[in-house]
Amino acid sequence: MASVLALDKDLLNLELLAFLLKQEGHSVYATAEPETAFNILHSTVVDLVVVEPAVQRQDGYRVCQQIRQFNPYTPLMILSERHEEDQIVRGLMTAADDYLTKPFSPRQLLARVHALLRRGKLTQAMLRQDENFSIGEITLNLQQMAALVNGVRVSLTPRVLSRDQLMRLAWGENFVGGAKTVDVCILRLRKKVHPHLTGGFYIQALRGFGYKFELPRPQNALASC
What pLDDT is stored for residue 200 in this prediction? Answer: 77
Architecture of the domain delimited by 132-224: Orthogonal Bundle (1.10)
What pLDDT is stored for residue 170 in this prediction? Answer: 61
What pLDDT is stored for residue 28 in this prediction? Answer: 95
CA 213 to chain centre: 24
What pLDDT is stored for residue 144 in this prediction? Answer: 58
Residue type, 199: G
- CATH 1.10.10.10 residue ranges of the chain are 132-224
CB 121 within 8 A of CB 2: no
Task: Name the β-bridge partners of 5.
Answer: 29, 49
| Percent of the chain topping pLDDT 70 | 72
What pLDDT is stored for residue 172 in this prediction? Answer: 66
Round to whole Å and give the CA distance between 202 and 57.
Answer: 54
Q: Which fold has domain 3-130?
A: Rossmann fold (3.40.50)
- CATH 3.40.50.2300 residue ranges of the chain are 3-130
Q: Which one of 105-119, 132-146, 179-193 scores highest in mean pLDDT? A: 105-119
Round to whole Å and give the CA distance between 132 and 193.
Answer: 17
Angle ∠(106,108,109) on CA atoms, nearest 5: 65
What pLDDT is stored for residue 143 in this prediction? Answer: 57
123 φ/ψ sector (left φ>0, alpha ψ -120 to 50, else beta): alpha
| pTM strictly above 0.75 | no
